[in-house]
Structure 1
Amino acid sequence: MATAILISMLVGVAGAVASARTTLTVGVFPDLDSVLKAVIPEFNKVHPDIEINLQTLGFADHHNALLTALATGSGAPDVVAIEIGYLGRFAVEGGLTDLSRPPYNAGELKDLFVPFAWGQATTTDGRIVAIPTDIGPGTMFYRRDVLEAAGVDIDAVASWDDLVEMGRKVTRDLNGDGKADVFLIAAASTIADAMYRGDIPEGEGVYFDARGRTVVDSPRFVNAFTVAQRVRQAGLDARIGAWSNEWYEAFKRGTVAVELSGAWLGGHLQNWMAPETAGKWGARDLPSNMYVSWGGSFYAIPEQSRHKDAAWKLIQFLTTRPEIQILAFRTTNAFPALQAALEDPLFDEPVPFLAGQRARRMWAEAAAKVHVSVIHPGDPVAQEIVGSALTQVLEEGKDVRQALAEARQLIERRVRR
């Protein structure tokens, strides 16, 4: 009898422990899934009562599915990863927990992070819709062998005009068929993207000023579009879209001299895009001492989550612990958003893929110089319209000022609605 009672008690305790476990659904996109797989065992050492159910979808599918789930009010994971390009839209459409409010009080974490990343997660009305986990300091990757063959010194490129002039030297016909085989860059539009996202006045956004007025026809955009147009008209870009097979092939074959991107591109080049080109690449800051945010990932909690307490524990674990941010960097080269992580000696080590260059410290210093900008409810609309205007300028030869003036009018009409 006593034995039966003891067994019954043990079964009851086991059942209570099992029922006390929380299953937390986490929705991510590649390559953040690799980070989570590496980190989950460490998280479970601290929180053995929380089980992680990892859901991974392709980049676009993940964000589209999340938009649908938030719009319908059901089906969203407890924790979601959001890339910076989508963050503004999610902030506008709602459905994400405001982490500035109790019990989260995320504002207390502000000083832990690279300032510009924190600003990107903060709306103009003061809501904190997500916590940054990785960032993309803008940089210029260049092919050492291509520039050497053209007799070009990358250190002589101080301005965007210098970059265009360098392009005239590296863009050339190797086969004698009258067509260029090597180009300055894959797409002229990339130069415009870099320029109009750089030197944003402190406290303003990419497309709107502090008062919410559209600034897409300002000198910042005019200069960006003009330089990109010069590159296109001179035949200096290969007219290759990013994330295409042609883009990857250009990196492998060395048919483009430079590529402007976030520091994260170095990891992609090394790991899967063009690993056989190790030692042929270098990196440096963008021309004209321009410092730009180029990508970045955040974690947020949908309002519909039933396990917000556990979700907040996971987000804090992923974002506020230097050792976890370092583990993420070692796993996928995801550049930490946490300032303490950037002080690790790892960021002073030479990078073999970049011929031993100590590029990580350069990127960390660049990140500290990116101006803080905020997201605006009209950002998704403005981004779409500006992109269309740039296409008209590059593909159809439309006048830059006219294209931007029309873009401003269209943005104002659609945002006002």
Structure 2
Amino acid sequence: MRLAARTLVGICTSVGLLAGPAAAQQSITVAAFPAVDEIVRAALPAWQQLHPTVAVKVVSRELNDHHTAMTTALSTAVYLPDVMALEVGYLGRFAQGAGLEDLARPPYELRRYQARFVPYAFEQASTPAGAVLAVPTDIGPGTLLYRQDLLAKAGLGEANLTGSWEGYVAAGVKIKAATGAYLLAHARDMKDILIRTGIQPGEGMYFDKDSRPLVTTARFVRAFELARAVRQQKLDARVTAWSSDWSEGFKRGGVATQMSGAWLAGHLNNWLAPSTRGLWRAAQLPEGAFAAYGGTFFAIPRLADAANKPLAWQFIQLMTLNRARQLAAFKSQDAFPALLETYDDAFFDEPLAFLGGQRARRDWRTAAGQIRAVQVHKQDAFAREVIDTELDKVLERGKAIDRALADAQRLLQQRALR
């Protein structure tokens, strides 16, 4: 799940749970970010039934602040939580160090539960050496959300968007001519999806298994070319995700499509653009592509209090292997479950009023089964910044694509093994 900036917590907050009037004899700390913190708090009554004398303290920070704090805690062994939530985009910086417990080893033996999880999500937390450093709790199957009313005004249908990426851009030209709406919020969105497609087994998004950068491959060249085509034809609103202009574009019908994780439909419905309910539809990504946007994991710091580790593991099991808790998170926070045994629930078949009664969760479930695992790397976050910077130079200054990617390749080669 990729969580928005609407619930930012400026300072750490905590919630304790005590059973009855007596003080708890033991407590564990769970560090999380919005809205994972809310999912954790909602699970506390179930935890209380299992462990009535064990309190749970929830420490919540904004997404980036949380991961910065976790990095510091792991490197200094100070203020370590017993359980930490990790967003997949940050997982790489933790997965190649020695700061997290290997959950494949006793007493955890997580691999005995592997078949119960969406395959690609489980593999993302696995290392080439066979360690498993975190447990997936939610995922983000990629989807194409589009305004049905704007397409109709342009005389287009869903197939015009999904047949090919070039066709998608061509449809954007017609949409803008007929309605004035932009195809995309930002040309960077085109790059973001295309670098997620065509990844070969054993590869990461930016690096191969030997830490060699992949950013001059055909995957990145095509992503940059199509992003440039979007900008040259003035098909993007040039607004960044989670900004006020971004949300206004959705509210006012100024942006016709958005590629993201399935969770975005819930955000649009609940707070981003509820007035547009019924106007949106969801489709699989163009050209038969399948990709993931976001996902959350739970991990145990290796140097956390040893006395609390059995309880930490039991708490993670409650959050990730309990069907009822996984479905509760899905229904309340649009946290698409990583637990496969939830996928036969009737909730997947319910029509979504925001999507005009479409039963879109079925398609998202299908996408979840088609997504390939992408190996994470400790420099993924840095690589993303480098690629975004080079794309901006292409879009804003006319820098040649081959030169931009070659410059990115050199910089990532220097940084890869640090």
Asked whether the equivalents of residues 381 and 415 of structure 1 are also in contact (C-alpha less than 8 Å), the reply is no
Query: Please, which runs of 5 or more residues in structure 2 have no aligned partner?
Result: 1-20
When residues 172 and 163 of structure 1 are mapped into structure 2, their CA distance, relative to the original with a 3 A threshold, is same
Aligned partners of 1:309, 1:74: CA distance in 2, in Å? 20
Pairs within 5 Å for 1:16-95 = 21-95=25-99
Say whether the 8 Å CA contact 1:144–1:282 is kept in structure 2. Answer: yes
Q: Which residue of 2 aligns with 1:235?
A: 234
CA-CA distance at 1:107 after TM superposition: 1.7
Secondary structure, counterpart of 1:340 in structure 2: helix
Aligned to 2:248: 249
Is 1:124–1:374's contact at 8 Å kept on the other side of the alignment?
A: no
2:109 to 105, 110, 131: 105
Work out whether 1:170 is the aligned partner of 2:175. yes
**Preserved CA contact (<8 Å) 1:22 1:310:** no
- Residue 199 of structure 1 aligns with which residue? 198
Q: AA paired with 2:94?
A: F
Matched positions, count: 395
Residue number in structure 2 paired with 1:379: 380
User: 2:141–2:368: 8 Å Cα contact kept in structure 1?
Assistant: yes
1:326 to 2:338 alignment: no
Alpha-carbon separation, structure 2, partners of 1:114 and 1:316? 16
Q: Which residue of 1 aligns with 2:157?
A: 153
After superposition, the C-alpha distances for 1:123-161 in whole angstroms (9 at most, x for unaligned) are 233221110000000111001111122222122331000
Q: Hey, what's the Cα distance between the residues in 1 that align with 2:417 and 2:32?
A: 33
Q: Deviations over 1:199-223 (max 9, x none)?
A: 2112221112234322111111111
In 2, are the aligned partners of 1:88 and 1:379 still within 8 Å (CA)?
yes
Aligned equivalents of 2:57, 2:24: Cα separation in 1: 16
Per-residue deviation, residues 24-44 of structure 1 (Å, max 9, x unmatched): 111111111221122111122
2:185 corresponds in structure 1 to 186
1:398 Cα offset (Å):
1.2
Cα contact 2:160–2:171 (8 A) shared by 1: no
CA contact under 8 A between 1:136 and 1:264: conserved in structure 2? yes
Partner of 1:353: 354
| TM-score between both structures, scaled by the size of structure 1 | 0.91
- Tell me, in whole angstroms, the C-alpha distance in 2 between the residues paired with 1:20 and 1:48: 8
Partners of 1:366 and 1:90 lie apart in 2 by 27
373-382 vs 122-131, which moves further: 373-382
Amino acid in structure 2 at the alignment position of 1:361? R
Contact 1:393–1:400 under 8 Å retained in 2: yes
In 2, are the aligned partners of 1:138 and 1:262 still within 8 Å (CA)?
Answer: yes
Amino acid across the alignment from 1:38: A
- Is the CA contact 1:199–1:291 (under 8 Å) kept in the aligned structure 2? no
Q: 1:124 touches 1:376 (CA, 8 Å); kept in 2?
A: no
1:8-30 deviation per Cα after TM superposition (whole angstroms, max 9, x unaligned):
xxxxxxxxx96873211111111
Contact between 2:284 and 2:290, CA under 8 Å: does it hold in 1?
yes
Question: What amino acid sits opposite 1:75 in the alignment?
Answer: Y
Q: Could you report, residue by residue, the CA deviation over 1:41-84 in whole angstroms, capped at 9, with x for unpaired residues? A: 11221222322111111222211221222222111211111111
**CA distance in structure 1 between the partners assigned to 2:216 and 2:226 by the alignment:** 15
Tell me, in whole angstroms, the C-alpha distance in 2 between the residues paired with 1:370 and 1:140.
Answer: 15
Give percent identity, aligned residues only. 45
Flag the 1:309–1:19 CA change in 2: closer, same or farther, 3 A: farther
Query: Once the two structures are superposed, what CA deviation does each residue of 1:312-350 show, in whole Å capped at 9, x if it has no partner?
Result: 000011001111100111111100011111221210111
How far apart in 1 are the matches of 2:379 and 2:249?
35
Counterpart of 1:296 in 2: which secondary structure?
A: strand
RMSD across aligned positions (CA): 1.7
Residue 276 of structure 1 deviates from its aligned partner by 1.3
Whether the 8 Å CA contact 2:182–2:255 is kept in 1: the answer is yes
Asked whether 1:129 is paired with 2:121, we answer: no
Q: In the aligned structure 2, how far is the partner of 1:245 from the partner of 1:75?
A: 35
The whole-number CA distance in structure 1 between the counterparts of 2:113 and 2:99 is: 22
Q: CA deviation at 1:171?
A: 1.6
User: Does the Cα contact within 8 Å between 1:141 and 1:282 map onto a contact in 2?
Assistant: yes
Matches within 5 A, 1:279-358: 279-306=278-305, 307-358=308-359
- Residue 25 of structure 1 contacts residue 54 of structure 1 at CA under 8 Å; is this kept in 2? yes
Q: Deviations over 1:155-178 (max 9, x none)?
A: 23310001100110112486xxxx
Q: How far apart in 2 are the matches of 1:199 and 1:368? A: 16
* Greater shift in the superposed pair: 45-54 or 295-304: 45-54
Aligned to 2:218: 219
The whole-number CA distance in structure 1 between the counterparts of 2:136 and 2:164 is 31
1:22 and 1:50 in contact (8 A); partners too: yes
Bigger drift between 201-210 and 262-271 goes to: 201-210
Aligned counterparts of 1:240 and 1:173: Cα–Cα separation in 2: 21
Rg: which structure is higher?
Answer: 1
TM-score using structure 2 length:
0.91
Quickly say closer, same or farther: Cα 1:47–1:26, change in 2 above 3 A. same
Give me the whole-angstrom Cα distance separating, in 2, the residues matched to 1:21 and 1:318: 22
Aligned AA (1:92): Q
Structure 1, unaligned runs of 5 or more? 1-16, 175-180
The residue type paired with residue 128 of structure 2 is: T
User: Counterpart of 1:11?
Assistant: none
Q: Secondary structure at the match of 1:27?
A: strand
- Give a deviation string over 1:295-318, Cα, whole Å, max 9, x none: 011111112321111000000110
- Name the aligned partner's letter for residue 196 of structure 1: I
In the TM superposition, residue 248 of structure 1 has moved relative to its aligned partner by 0.6
1:415 correspondence with 2:416: yes
